[in-house]
């Protein structure tokens, strides 16, 4: 009995020790690479504005139904419930107006808010932990220069045990390490800037890296692609077939700065937001740094790899204004919908008119048999402001039934991707609900 007690006590001590060891805070303030858009000698508020834009804080901390910027309230619908983003304006009651520097730095880099409770990693402290203290405080200086917005936080809708914030301490022990960015001396300053921009700051991995059973990033599968809230964040590794290995530097740069790369992709959904709010505003040198780093991301195939067919039979047999080579019987319903609502902009040969963003040829969206982003685009449309122009596609969710959306999505996948689409009316219904 006594021996048993000793074993229990020892195990408890080891457990508690491990918990605190794994939850330890990296005492290092951290050093960030020099970014073209945020020179170290610049005014902290101006630096903070650029860093806040680069980190795209506004995209998540603003509700989509006309909410004030940074006032929070955006819903994150996750498999275990809904989390709402918080108000990060300097309002003293409902925002972060009373937070000290240390409290803000701890929240951003350790995921622990002012009252000592754990944040959920929907807020990517897992990435921000690598930011330098100087950068985090510059972001704070910028946020504190904004007008305070009085907007109480929406309570999360999480069931037990997910509503127990203390339990995140165990999640952190398993999946999170507090650590600052470590520059790689064997790489160029540009590469290191790109690694910092794409990693801790831009947190690409939060959407583009597959997640494990505990909803943490699978670092061994970094940037190999994942589906987030119905949208597929594509494989952005250097894999030539499934990733972006074959894209030219120009194409990658064009995509990151405008949301469109000729013959490759047009951004929409969450990536459209990332381009519109963040990436199009980067200094060109910083975009170039990001491209330099992306080029070195190890090639990975990822789940449900997409193989782009840039010249499928039916698309090639079509002209800009007339279809050719479709399988009349299988495609009749989708074709009928496409000719009425889609062809005038997208065109039958995939070239697209009205806007270059309407080009479908060669995109991964139409080459994904699961049709995640084609379905989302049909349901939600596109609305983003890039440079001096609006990029717009109407939403058809209210106009078409689930059966029609599925038929149209599968037609688009077959005609422009040369593949058998797998979208079912039930999938569409699920997407609508999300």
Partner 1 sequence: MVTLRVNGEDRQVDVPPDMPLLWVLRDVIGLTGTKFGCGIAQCGACTVHLDNQPVRSCQLPVSAIGDRAITTIEAIGQTPEGAKVQQAWLAVDVVQCGYCQSGQIMAAAALLARVPNPTDRDIDTAMSGNICRCATYVRIREAIKQAATGQQHGLQVVVDGSAA
- Torsional class of 243: left (φ above 0), alpha (ψ -120 to 50), beta (otherwise): beta
CB of 260 to partner 1, least distance (A): 12
Long-range contacts of 48-52 (CB under 8 A, 24+ apart): 48/137, 48/138, 48/139, 48/140, 48/141, 48/142, 48/143, 48/145, 49/142, 51/135, 51/138, 51/139, 51/142, 51/201, 52/139, 52/142, 52/143
Considering beta carbons, is residue 218 or 336 the nearer one to partner 1?
336
Q: Packing angle between helix 284-294 and helix 249-258, nearest 10 degrees?
A: 130
- Does position 322 interact with partner 1 (CB under 8 A)? The reply is yes
Could you say whether residue 325 binds partner 1 (CB under 8 A)?
A: no
Q: Out of 355, 370, 397, 422, which residue is the one contacting partner 1 (CB under 8 A)?
A: 355
Strand partners, 53: none
Pick from 408, 409, 242, 414: nearest CA to 313: 414
**329 lines the binding site for partner 1 (CB under 8 A):** no
**Closest approach of Cβ 282 to partner 1, in Å?**
22
- Whole-number minimum distance, CB 416 to partner 1, in Å? 16
> Site for partner 1 (CB under 8 A): which residue of 5, 166, 340, 398?
340
End-to-end CA distance of the chain: 54
> CB 275 → partner 1: shortest distance, Å?
17
Residue 320 or 426: which CB sits closer to partner 1? 320
- According to the binding rule CB under 8 A, does residue 343 interact with partner 1? yes
Question: Which C-beta is closer to partner 1: that of 327 or that of 339?
Answer: 339
Using CB under 8 A as the binding rule, whether residue 394 contacts partner 1 is answered as yes
Give the CA distances from residue 163 to residues 157, 193, 310, in Å, rounded to whole numbers and listed in that order.
8, 37, 47
Binding residue (CB under 8 A) for partner 1 from 162, 171, 392, 400 = 392
Under the criterion CB under 8 A, does residue 344 sit at the interface with partner 1? yes
Which chain residues interact with partner 1 by CB under 8 A?
320-323, 336, 339-341, 343-345, 353-356, 388-390, 392, 394
């Amino acid at each position: 009995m006594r021996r048993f007690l000793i074993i229990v006590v020892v195990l408890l001590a080891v457990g508690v020790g491990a918990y605190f060891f794994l939850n330890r805070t990296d005492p290092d303030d951290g050093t960030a690479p020099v970014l073209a858009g945020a020179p170290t000698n610049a005014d902290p508020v101006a630096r903070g504005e650029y860093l806040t834009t680069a980190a795209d804080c506004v995209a998540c901390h603003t509700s989509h139904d006309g909410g004030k910027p940074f006032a929070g309230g955006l819903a994150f619908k996750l498999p275990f419930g809904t989390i709402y983003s918080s108000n990060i304006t300097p309002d003293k009651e409902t925002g972060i107006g009373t937070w000290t520097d240390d409290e803000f730095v701890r929240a951003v880099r350790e995921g622990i808010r002012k009252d000592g409770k754990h944040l959920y990693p929907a807020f990517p402290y897992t990435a921000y932990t690598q930011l330098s203290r100087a950068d985090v405080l510059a972001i704070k200086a910028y946020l504190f220069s904004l007008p305070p917005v009085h907007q109480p936080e929406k309570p999360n809708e999480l069931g037990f045990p997910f509503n127990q914030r203390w339990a995140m301490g165990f999640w952190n022990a398993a999946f999170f390490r507090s650590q600052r960015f470590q520059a790689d001396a064997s790489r160029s300053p540009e590469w290191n800037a790109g690694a910092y921009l794409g990693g801790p700051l831009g947190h690409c991995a939060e959407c583009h890296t597959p997640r494990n059973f505990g909803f943490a990033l699978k670092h061994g599968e970094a940037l190999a692609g994942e589906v987030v809230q119905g949208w597929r964040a594509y494989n952005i590794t250097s894999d030539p077939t499934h990733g972006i290995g074959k894209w030219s530097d120009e194409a990658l740069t064009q995509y990151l700065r405008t949301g469109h790369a000729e013959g490759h992709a047009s951004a929409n959904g969450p990536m459209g937001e990332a381009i519109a709010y963040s990436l199009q505003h980067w200094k060109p040198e910083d975009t170039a740094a990001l491209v330099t780093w992306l080029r070195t991301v190890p090639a990975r195939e990822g789940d449900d790899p997409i193989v782009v067919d840039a010249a499928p039979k039916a698309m090639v047999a079509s002209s800009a204004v007339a279809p050719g080579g479709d399988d009349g019987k299988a495609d009749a319903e989708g074709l009928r919908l496409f000719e009425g609502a889609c062809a005038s902009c997208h065109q039958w040969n995939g070239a697209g008119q009205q806007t270059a963003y309407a080009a479908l040829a060669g995109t991964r969206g139409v080459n994904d048999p699961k049709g995640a982003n084609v379905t989302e685009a049909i349901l939600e449309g596109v609305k983003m402001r890039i440079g001096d122009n609006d990029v717009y596609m109407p939403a058809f969710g209210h106009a078409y039934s689930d059966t029609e959306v599925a038929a149209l999505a599968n037609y688009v996948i077959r005609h422009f991707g040369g593949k058998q689409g797998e979208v079912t009316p039930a999938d569409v219904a699920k997407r609508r609900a999300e």
